[in-house]
């Protein structure tokens, strides 16, 4: 996969994640074990030939639960205030950077808002982003911590340009606070909107997920003028027990 991904000069990074356990249940030894697992995953990725890794700190997985006040009820060094809530992410980031070296790409998909009860202040996320930058992070992608009614990382029914870029407020706030590239994600489907946001300095790069399941060659279509909007209808049916496969492409 690394060899195929890097053809034609393309850069490729692996997203690394930890899905088990909850903050309030974990012992300090188990937290260290999770941190060790991130470091080991990063080493496997670069040894396989990838250009670097993206640390997943979003969508209700382990690190994003530590970041979310309503999920992190610890009263020790890994909770009890903003510094404690971001401690695991910063430790993992620093250790991964040391493991893969300064020449490898290191990014983070950062949960910026709590979709379930809106308990995570945006200014807390901005400060986390600034501290990640100080650890020589190369780029940030802003998403949600816990999905829910307030904000969902995989919103349905994005059928007009007005419904796209639903994480723009969070992205702009972080973009204004850091000097590293910031990626805009969240329902982006229309090429002209993507170009506009980059041109206006609201983000540095565009990130997409589901559109690639519907049209793996969507970037080439944009480049060659064959398309101006993704054919993805945001139905969410690609997220099923059988894996992330677009229902229109099953055959």
pLDDT tens across 42-88, in order?
999 999 999 999 999 999 999 999 999 999 999 999 999 999 999 99
> How is residue 61 written in tokens?
């997985």
Full DSSP string of 206-236: E--SHHHHH-TTHHHHHHTTS-SB-------
pTM for the predicted model, two decimal places: 0.94
Cβ neighbors of 70 (< 8 A, separation 6 or more) are 114, 116, 117, 119, 146
Query: Coil, helix or strand for 15?
Result: strand
CATH of domain 2-249: 3.20.20.70
CB 150 within 8 A of CB 63: no
Q: What is the pLDDT of residues 144-172, one digit of tens each?
A: 998 887 788 788 889 999 999 999 999 99
Of the candidates 215, 206, 205, the residue with the CA atom closest to the CA atom of residue 238: 215
The pLDDT-based confidence of 251 (bands split at 50, 70, 90) is low
> How is residue 110 written in tokens?
């950062």
Query: Coil, helix or strand for 178?
Result: coil
Q: What letters, b where the CB count within 10 A reaches 16 and e where it falls short, cover 116-154? A: beebbeeebbbebbebbbebebbbbbbbbbbbeeebbbb
Burial of 70 (0-12, 13-18, 19+ CB in 10 A): middle
């Amino acid at each position: 996969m690394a060899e195929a991904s890097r053809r034609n000069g393309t850069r490729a990074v692996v997203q690394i994640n930890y899905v088990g356990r909850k903050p309030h249940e974990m012992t300090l030894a188990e937290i260290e074990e999770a941190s060790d697992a991130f470091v080991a995953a990063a080493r496997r990725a670069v040894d396989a030939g990838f250009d670097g890794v993206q640390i997943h700190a979003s969508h209700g997985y382990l690190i994003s639960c530590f970041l979310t006040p309503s999920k992190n009820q610890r009263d020790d060094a890994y909770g009890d205030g903003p510094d404690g809530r971001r401690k695991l992410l910063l430790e993992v980031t620093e250790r991964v950077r040391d493991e893969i070296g300064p020449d490898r790409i290191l990014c983070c998909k950062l949960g910026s808002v709590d979709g379930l009860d809106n308990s995570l202040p945006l200014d807390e996320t901005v400060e986390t982003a600034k501290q990640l930058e100080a650890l020589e992070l190369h780029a940030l992608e802003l998403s949600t911590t816990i999905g829910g009614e307030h904000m969902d990382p995989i919103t349905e029914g994005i059928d007009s340009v007005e419904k796209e870029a639903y994480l723009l407020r969070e992205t702009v706030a972080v973009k204004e606070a850091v000097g590293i590239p910031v990626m805009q994600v969240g329902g982006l489907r229309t090429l002209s909107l993507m170009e506009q946001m980059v041109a206006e300095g609201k983000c540095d790069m565009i990130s997409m997920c589901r559109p690639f399941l519907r049209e793996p060659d969507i970037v080439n279509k944009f480049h060659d003028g064959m398309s101006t909007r993704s054919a993805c209808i945001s139905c969410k049916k690609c997220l099923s027990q059988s894996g992330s496969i677009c229902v229109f492409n099953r055959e």
